[in-house]
Amino acid sequence: MKITMIGTGYVGLVTGTCFAESGNDVTCLDVDTSKVALLNRGGVPIYEPGLEELVRRNSAAGRLKFTTDYESAIRSAQCIFICVGTPQDYSGAADLKYVQSAAENMAPFLRENAVVICKSTVPVGTNRRVADWIRSRTNTRFMIASNPEFLKEGAAIDDFTKPDRVVVGVDEPAAAEILQELYKPFLRTEKPFIVVGIESAEMIKYAANCMLATKISFINEMANICEKVGADINEVRKGIGHDARIGFSFLFPGVGYGGSCFPKDVRALASLAAQHGLDARILRTVDETNNEQKNTLFRKLMDHFEGNLTGRTVAIWGLSFKPRTDDIREAPSLVLIQNLLAAGCAVKVHDPVALENVRREIGDLVEYCVHHYDACDGADAICIVTEWNEFRNPDFDYIRLKMKSPVIFDGRNLYDRQKMAARGFHYSGVGLSALPVEAK
């Protein structure tokens, strides 16, 4: 099938490449000329495990192409996926300007009965607006469909090629049939292809993300209470997770969720509810709780150093909003860095893949370290913000030697606090208070 992805970011590039891998003829279109040039030179603009090899293989086979030219990308495409960003606008709502521009730019070149599919996360009602934007520029007959994307960065290829379900919202059964054909290779393990109305499909994506964000804010709140009352959130998590009605997934306490989806999607749904006269109290609280949670490590540092961080050096391990991605959008690390700099600290940071993205965002306000051990040199404390695998079993004796004082604030509960006390560290996790350090 001839397919065009409009928007070649995390979603458009991953899903377009996976469609090419299953034998389709895919064109990825983007307005970012440097991104397209890089892809045409064989580079990949984002870090996503396994993606580079797939892009190379399918480009070499001629099934995957990159362009900035709407006319050539749209003319022969049977399916056109809109995968452009839908960031938050000044009011908290989703900003649809990129979606509108994609719709208007493709319109003059659409072929008869093409299917225009919105994969971007958009508020209920947007797909119908997309149809209106297109109709304002062409008389060609086309079909529309909503096809929300559920992939997670860091495991995007697996999520897309082995989905739990595919959701498609349509008016016309013919559009659903075409999409079912396209998704067939990914649904061979009998995972459901769910066909619903367009408004329901749009709502499903927001409801899913808001549920997951709610679970995170819930467990973070439980963790904060645990700390105050002397309970251990790891033990509490075990005790509740075995209840089949609750389960374990998305119940890891931490320093707040970030990324390009949860924060903006929670706010966008709350904003949509408000436009319809509803106060989405749960969503507003989830967002507030999350914003507050991003300050948790800073608060702990302030308590530990008796309210004065001036002249201290703090190492940060992990900058991306989660492991296995270089995405730093709304990352908790950025809030921590900002707080530390404002408090007069020197900050040394390490991340396996996100250093350059942070440098682009904040410049030389912090020291960038190629190895996580380098960040410990002369540090008064380490803050662990992202749970990269390479942080799980470090050489603690070596770290202690490098640090000015053996203090670790762990935002991801990577270590055993008894063992950390025995190793001579002041160690505090989230939902775990520090134990007295044992004499070494």
Choose among 402, 401, 414: nearest CA to 440: 401
Do 24 and 1 touch, CB atoms closer than 8 A? Answer: yes
**Choice between 77 and 375, CB closer to ligand NAD:** 77
**Choice between 148 and 411, CB closer to ligand NAD:** 148
Strand partners, 5: 28, 81
Angstrom distance (rounded) from CA 318 to CA 331: 10
Angstrom distance (rounded) from CA 190 to CA 165: 9
* Contact region with ligand NAD (CB under 6 A), list: 81-89, 171-179, 271-279, 385-393: 81-89
Out of 6, 301, 331, 366, point to the residue binding ligand NAD (CB under 6 A): 6
Q: Which of residues 229-288 bind ligand NAD (CB under 6 A)?
A: 260-261
102 contributes a contact to ligand NAD by CB under 6 A: yes
**Choice between 133 and 425, CB closer to ligand NAD:** 133
Give the Cβ contact number of residue 198 at 10 Å: 22
Q: What are phi and psi of 40, to 5 degrees?
A: -70, -20
Do 137 and 109 touch, CB atoms closer than 8 A? Answer: no
9 contributes a contact to ligand NAD by CB under 6 A: yes
Please say if 369 is a catalytic residue.
no
Q: How far is CA 324 from the centre of its chain?
A: 10
Q: How far is the CB of 327 from ligand NAD (least distance, A)?
A: 7
The residues near 105 (Cβ < 8 Å, ≥ 6 apart) are 70
* Contact region with ligand NAD (CB under 6 A), list: 84-92, 227-235, 313-321, 395-403: 84-92
The two tokens of residue 440 are 């070494």
Angstrom distance (rounded) from CA 237 to CA 434: 18
Q: How many residues bind ligand NAD (CB under 6 A)?
A: 26
8 contributes a contact to ligand NAD by CB under 6 A: yes
**Active-site residue, selected from the candidate residues 18, 226, 261, 383:** 261
98 contributes a contact to ligand NAD by CB under 6 A: yes
Please report how the helices 10-21 and 51-60 are oriented relative to each other, as an axis angle in degrees rounded to 10: 50
Give me the residue whose beta carbon is nearest to ligand NAD: 9
Print the binding letters for residues 24-43 with ligand NAD: x by CB under 6 A, - otherwise: -----xxxx--x--------
166 contributes a contact to ligand NAD by CB under 6 A: no
**Choice between 212 and 302, CB closer to ligand NAD:** 212
* Contact region with ligand NAD (CB under 6 A), list: 147-155, 308-316, 355-363, 405-413: 147-155
Q: How far is the CB of 93 from ligand NAD (least distance, A)?
A: 13
End-to-end CA separation in angstroms for the chain: 67
Measured CA distances, 184 to 138, 146, 169, 381 (Å): 31, 17, 17, 51
Angstrom distance (rounded) from CA 374 to CA 22: 43
Choose among 120, 105, 118, 117: nearest CA to 67: 105
Q: How far is the CB of 83 from ligand NAD (least distance, A)?
A: 5
Out of 117, 151, 157, 331, point to the residue binding ligand NAD (CB under 6 A): 151
11 contributes a contact to ligand NAD by CB under 6 A: yes
Q: What is the contact surface with ligand NAD in residues (CB under 6 A)?
A: 6-12, 29-32, 35, 83-86, 98, 101-102, 120-121, 149, 151, 153, 260-261
Residues recognised as catalytic: 261
